[in-house]
Amino acid sequence: MAIWVKYSLAVLPLLPCLLLFLAIKNNEFKEKIYVLMILSLIGYLLVDRLVPIISQYTLKRGLCGKDLGKKGTINESVDVPEALGIVSGIVFLVCAILSSVVYFSNTSHQQMIFNSALFSICFMIFLGFTDDTLDLQWRYKLILPLTASIPLLTSYSGETAVLIPAQLRFILWNDSTKMLTTLGSVIDTIFTVDTNAEGKIIELGPFFFLYMSLLSVFCTNSINILAGVNGLECGQAYIIAVSILFFKLYDIYISSDHTNVCGDNQLFAIIMILPFIATSLGLLRHNWYPAKVFVGDTYCYFAGMTFAVIGIHGHFSKTLLLLFLPQIFNFLYSIPQLFKVIPCPRHRLPHINVTTRLMSASTFECKASDYQYFKSKRGDVSCPNYTLICLILQVFGPMYEETLTTVLLGVQVTSTIIAFCIRYYLLHE
């Protein structure tokens, strides 16, 4: 791809946000955001400048990996520096702290929430970097996000109820009999379904904290699983982040035709997401095909926790899950292999043809007789790995690595559009 095409594509997702921002009429809000934009721009430049410097340090320490997509080229054996997400992470924290000074200097409650949110993110980046450095075992990957989400949970003082969209209310509430449905009654034994509100509200109580923890674990790990192609981890997080920004700006835009008042949770999300977008974009520049650096678990954990935090404190967790549709699909689709129902090879990255440089779905082999799953088939099985990446390569055929990333990011954008339709048209009340 020509360099100007890449750059245009990279800033394209930001365009709708900018238009929406210009359409908002609340000038006081806009002035605040200008300050934030400048801060974020500085963050972008800092990351862009620091990544090459810090990558020398990580290389020296042996924090590096081989790029499997460069097999068969002269760069095959070049060590690519790992864990550069740490640069984005640290710059993000500094930008976010400074932003919070601009906004929350007077309200102690908002400042408390903001501090605990950043504490959780900082803890997660730290644990991610520890993981990259020390190569911890799998079980730690589940324990770490749980640990890091504790500050979030202890500072959470909001609602512990979940609102059910009007269109789905029939599952819990029978409007003709004015009683809970069977499923509603079952759910009511564990949680509390508000019968006065006719099934509109499920009060999760202490389970809400479990839900928040699980959201953190899910967000951090799902980005980590949909990975392995240059620019994908960073790219998908970038698209999700821009989508969150768009949704929040749209919320403000439609909130009131004349004033466009910005609520606390919108402001919280915007303050968080702007430096995240900037620092991710700075990293993406170096991580895009051909990748000069890898982002590492550090970045995946950092991104995941940032989204979880925004989901929880921005009262946005259900819509957030809609933005994670490709990741959710990838996770569900991977389950047979993740839980070893069928064999799971060490790497499930796409296979590269060293002469054409085209990528195709990688496969795994197994004796069908050993696995219940394949009993119906005869003889041994050789089928593509159960990942979204391999599925796309099967559907669209072999493609170049850069094209593959672009297509996958296209899928991510599509999921945003679907989420937008569901959120604002289907479930709009």
Among 50, 80, 122, 237, binds its own copies (CB under 8 A): 122
Among 26, 58, 216, 334, binds its own copies (CB under 8 A): 58
**Least distance between its own copies and beta carbon 237 (Å):** 20
**Cβ distance to its own copies smaller for residue 50 or 359:** 50
Q: Verify binding: residue 62, its own copies, rule CB under 8 A.
A: yes
**Cβ distance to its own copies smaller for residue 57 or 170:** 57
Q: Verify binding: residue 136, its own copies, rule CB under 8 A.
A: yes
**Cβ distance to its own copies smaller for residue 62 or 206:** 62
Among 29, 92, 123, 301, binds its own copies (CB under 8 A): 123
Q: Verify binding: residue 100, its own copies, rule CB under 8 A.
A: yes
**Least distance between its own copies and beta carbon 406 (Å):** 33
Q: Which residues of 361-393 are buried (b: 16+ CB within 10 A; e: fewer)?
A: bbebebebeebeebeeeeeebeebbbbbbbbbb
Burial (CB count <10 Å: 0-12, 13-18, 19+), residue 307: buried
**Cβ distance to its own copies smaller for residue 110 or 174:** 110
**Least distance between its own copies and beta carbon 206 (Å):** 13
Closest to 295 in 3D by CA, of 230, 386, 379: 230
Residue 412 tokens read as: 């991510």
State the DSSP code for 69.
G
Q: Verify binding: residue 3, its own copies, rule CB under 8 A.
A: no
Span of 36-44, 143-151, 299-307, 339-347 interacting with its own copies by CB under 8 A: 143-151
Q: Which residues of 62-98 are buried (b: 16+ CB within 10 A; e: fewer)?
A: ebbeebbbbeeeeeeeeebbbbbbbbbbbbbbbbbee
Q: Verify binding: residue 217, its own copies, rule CB under 8 A.
A: no
Among 94, 225, 411, 418, binds its own copies (CB under 8 A): 94
- On whether the CB atoms of residues 64 and 78 are closer than 8 A, the answer is no
Cα–Cα separations (whole angstroms), residue 139 to 131, 146, 167, 226, 273:
11, 11, 39, 19, 29
Span of 71-79, 119-127, 263-271, 329-337 interacting with its own copies by CB under 8 A: 119-127
Q: Verify binding: residue 403, its own copies, rule CB under 8 A.
A: no
**Least distance between its own copies and beta carbon 261 (Å):** 23
The CA radius of gyration of the chain, in Å to the nearest whole number, is: 23
Q: Verify binding: residue 363, its own copies, rule CB under 8 A.
A: no
Q: Verify binding: residue 111, its own copies, rule CB under 8 A.
A: yes
Interatomic CA distance for residues 288 and 404, integer angstroms: 12
**Cβ distance to its own copies smaller for residue 136 or 162:** 136
**Least distance between its own copies and beta carbon 60 (Å):** 7
Counting residues that bind its own copies (by CB under 8 A) gives: 41
Q: Verify binding: residue 109, its own copies, rule CB under 8 A.
A: yes
Among 2, 31, 157, 346, binds its own copies (CB under 8 A): 157
Interatomic CA distance for residues 428 and 419, integer angstroms: 12
Interatomic CA distance for residues 385 and 342, integer angstroms: 10
Q: Verify binding: residue 150, its own copies, rule CB under 8 A.
A: yes
Would you tell me how many other CB atoms lie within 10 Å of the CB of residue 121?
Answer: 27
Long-range contacts for 351-356 (Cβ within 8 Å, ≥24 apart)? 352/68, 352/69, 352/71, 352/72, 352/401, 353/398, 354/71, 354/72, 354/73, 355/72, 356/398
Span of 13-21, 53-61, 217-225, 364-372 interacting with its own copies by CB under 8 A: 53-61
- Which residue type occupies 258? H
In 15-160, which ranges are E strands? 64-66, 79-81
- What's the sign of the alpha-carbon dihedral 287, 115, 304, 62? positive
Among 84, 86, 232, 409, binds its own copies (CB under 8 A): 86
Residue 97 tokens read as: 């702290």
Among 1, 11, 35, 61, binds its own copies (CB under 8 A): 61
Among 17, 80, 90, 234, binds its own copies (CB under 8 A): 90
CA 192 to chain centre: 30
Q: Verify binding: residue 116, its own copies, rule CB under 8 A.
A: yes
**Least distance between its own copies and beta carbon 93 (Å):** 7
Applying CB under 8 A, which residues contact its own copies?
54, 57-58, 60-63, 86, 90, 93-94, 97-98, 100-101, 105, 108-109, 111-112, 115-116, 118-119, 122-123, 125-127, 129-130, 133-136, 147, 150-151, 154-155, 157
